[in-house]
Structure 1
Amino acid sequence: MKSLQLIFSNPRYFAPAWVFTTLNIWFGTWAIYIPTVKENLGINKSDLGIALFCLSLGVFTIFPVASKIINKLGVGKATWFGVILGTITALFPLLATNYYVLMVALFFFGMANGLTDIAMNTLVTEIEKEDAKNFMSAAHGFFSLGGVIVGLGSFLIPIIDNPPLHMAITVGLAFLINLLFYKKYVNITAAPVETEPFSFRLFKPLLLLGIIGFVAFGSEGAIIDWSGLYLKEITLAPEALIGSGFLAFSVAMTLGRFLGDGISERIGSIKVVALGAIIATLGYFLVLSGATFLAIIGFALNGLGFSVIVPELFRIGGNVKGVDSAQGISFIAGSGYSGFLLGPVILGFIAENASLKHSFYTLLGCVLLIMLTTFFLQRKRS
């Protein structure tokens, strides 16, 4: 909790942490209104899927050039630029007058999200280097906090009864807080790094980190999408408890991220990732027991385990020797988002052709792969 105290006591740390919150406020508020947009534009699920793919396409389009933009502008200015772009483009999808305008709006919204995501993680990495303070995990906890704020804000939907206005109020308030604090980070630039020509020796640690990122993000996405159905179909949970798995996962993830920095300071980033994988493994064993309450506890352990893995990956990726922080983080982010998008799809294919329980056996195998990969990372570091 020391990093949480650090964030709330010093604007230098609160400012970038609030950018994390802002990113989830944009995305979460948009997500609430996806059914409304679908109905208003009269599109089917297939069309909606293509439109949502445009958002992902926007994210992936910016990844290859994000590090160049960040290094050109400076990481602080790039983060602030991302906040401005995200605030503006968050309004576009809800103002779309037809399906094709929606696809274009989501593409640009995705680009703004992607740039902000990489810039803010690079920014925290650089501040950690400058100040010798750990708060990456807590910053990701603030991202989770954004989801809580969106959930509370959803109670205003029937009162406001106007999606664009609700979005404008929400992103406007988030932007005003950013406006109050952005000067605390806007002039920060990345410390110069002696970059080396591309070689497999440099690529190898990034590849291992990318594998962990792909699996960890993919597992998170799968639990978010499939936990409710798992409780309903496999554990035969009553209707009132179907959402409990996701709730337990989310609460534990938020708590774990606020605790993660202190643990990382004591045992190091790679050991934290391994510890997270062990906790998530125990969680999957409980989920696969088939008992409702054990499965809910298992989902909570999954959230606790995965909560520390992703922040530590960004921390490690931003400190790979011979690679500048923006490039390392871009690679982790690209690998992770690929997993987040493809993971639920792959799991759905397995569930359709085998069973939903087999999908979760696959997730158990994936987290064991993370443990194995940390072994190779530890050997390389030694």
Structure 2
Amino acid sequence: MTTAVSALPRAARVATWVYFALNGFAIGLWVVHIPNIEHAAGISHSTLGLLLLVLGGAAFAGMQVAGPLADRVGQRRLVPAAGVLLGLSLFGPGLADSWWSLGLTLLVLGFANGSLDVGMNAHAVVVERAYPRPIMAAFHAMWSIGGAFAALIGAATLKAGVPTAVSMSACGVLLIVVSLATARFLIEADEPAPAEVEETDEPRAKTPAKLVWQLGALAFGLMLAEGVANDWAALHFRDVLGTSTSTAAYAYGSFAVAMTIGRFATDRVAALIGPAAIVRYGAGLAAIGLTTVIVVPWIPVALVGWALFGLGLAGGVPQLFTAAGNLDTRASGALMARVVGLGYVGLLAGPAVIGGLAHWMPLNVAFVLPVVLCVLTFIAAPVLKSGVPAEEKKVDQTLSA
């Protein structure tokens, strides 16, 4: 039956919400200031593209360092340290006046972002173990909320003519203060008694070493599809459907809003049907949504298609991260770093791959690739059942309560 949740995990849950929101806020703030930063540094679009690869590579490196480090020193130390480093890294881009100074600041920004990404996800898994139901997807929804606030604040400061260095540095100070103030509410893996303790002797159908790469492959596919929507949804409306730039913005907006709403709803649904079903049927819904975008030229129907795509992708990645973190609690951070890292590679690769395909075929035809990946995820999703028996029992506990 359902067990009561103490005040400690509840406070840790709120603290984890804060860190996810801070991470989304920091990255969103960087994104909205990119045009000003590019101009101040005096670089071309092509140089900026190369520097964004530096940012992505540094983030991947940060993930791989932070994972094992979280297992050694604990998420309670790693997460606030990464949050402080991320806050400090926001000072740099607004002060950069050349390609090399911007490159150095993006190395720090990327590394800090990757470190916090893995650390806060690993901590989210620890907090979730103390709950009788899934709660991971809501954390990811808070990341989206943080990005939305960054867009609003960034737009306001840019309209008011506030220098980029001032607005980003001020927000960096905010990140540092909030990260330090929230740290006291974090918990370590041995503080709440995890439900999985009684299950350590149960045999697994696949070894964790093999399963973690399978989870990583699924995360790669789903996040590649997400990256396609991030960079190409608006361009699809403008270039394929012939809309204005302002109308084209609604394409990504419908995707992003549906994904955020879906993530807030996913946890309750996962408690009823289990994580494997969330990944499987979510991928199926995403495939249907993007197929609609490909074949239907009507703008209202295409908006629905992008919304279905976002709704379908909303819950899958959080379930994969939870599964990775629960494969082996002694190496939770390292295992999660592999899955998060592979997913991040997919997120970065998606827009570039679609861009390459679009040179040879219409953009909407190039979208067949993420549809295929969603279908493959639909087929492979039952792998979660073989590797995470604790999650299945958590669902059973909720249903019997």
TM-score by length of 1: 0.91
Shift of 1:346: 0.8
Shift of 1:63: 2.7
Shift of 1:232: 1.5
Instruction: Summarize the alignment of residues 73-112 of structure 1 with structure 2, pairs less than 5 Å apart.
Output: 73-112=73-112
Shift of 1:152: 1.2
Instruction: Summarize the alignment of residues 198-217 of structure 1 with structure 2, pairs less than 5 Å apart.
Output: 201-217=207-223
Instruction: Summarize the alignment of residues 130-279 of structure 1 with structure 2, pairs less than 5 Å apart.
Output: 130-153=130-153, 154-185=155-186, 187-189=187-189, 201-279=207-285
Separation of aligned partners in 2, 1:102 and 1:64 = 23
| 8 Å CA contact 1:280, 1:302 repeated in 2 | yes
Say which is worse superposed, 311-320 or 131-140, in terms of deviation.
Answer: 131-140
Q: Partner of 1:324: helix, strand, or coil?
A: helix
Separation of aligned partners in 1, 2:386 and 2:318 = 21
Shift of 1:227: 0.7
Shift of 1:309: 0.9
Q: Partner of 2:314: helix, strand, or coil?
A: helix
RMSD: 2.5
Partner of 1:349: 356
Partner of 1:36: 36
Say which is worse superposed, 229-238 or 340-349, in terms of deviation.
Answer: 229-238
Instruction: Summarize the alignment of residues 56-67 of structure 1 with structure 2, pairs less than 5 Å apart.
Output: 56-67=56-67
| 8 Å CA contact 1:54, 1:104 repeated in 2 | no
Partner of 1:3: none
Separation of aligned partners in 2, 1:238 and 1:330 = 41
Instruction: Tell me whether 1:21 sits opposite 2:21 in the alignment.
Output: yes
Q: Partner of 1:253: helix, strand, or coil?
A: helix
| 8 Å CA contact 1:64, 1:330 repeated in 2 | yes
Separation of aligned partners in 2, 1:79 and 1:380 = 27
| 8 Å CA contact 1:22, 1:174 repeated in 2 | yes
Deviations 1:44-100 (A, max 9, x none): 112111211111121122233222211222111100111111111121122123211
Say which is worse superposed, 29-38 or 167-176, in terms of deviation.
Answer: 167-176
Separation of aligned partners in 2, 1:245 and 1:301 = 11
Say which is worse superposed, 327-336 or 231-240, in terms of deviation.
Answer: 231-240
Letter in 1 for 2:217: I
| 8 Å CA contact 1:75, 1:190 repeated in 2 | no
Compared CA separation, residues 322 and 184, structure 1 to 2 (3 A): closer
Instruction: Tell me whether 1:340 sits opposite 2:347 in the alignment.
Output: yes
Shift of 1:208: 1.6
| Runs of 5+ unmatched residues, structure 2 | 1-5, 390-401
Letter in 1 for 2:166: L
Structure 1 residue corresponding to 2:338, chosen from 331, 335, 347? 331
Partner of 2:392: none
Say which is worse superposed, 58-67 or 358-367, in terms of deviation.
Answer: 58-67
| 8 Å CA contact 1:85, 1:112 repeated in 2 | yes
Partner of 2:70: 70
Partner of 1:129: 129
Letter in 1 for 2:239: E
Partner of 2:286: 280
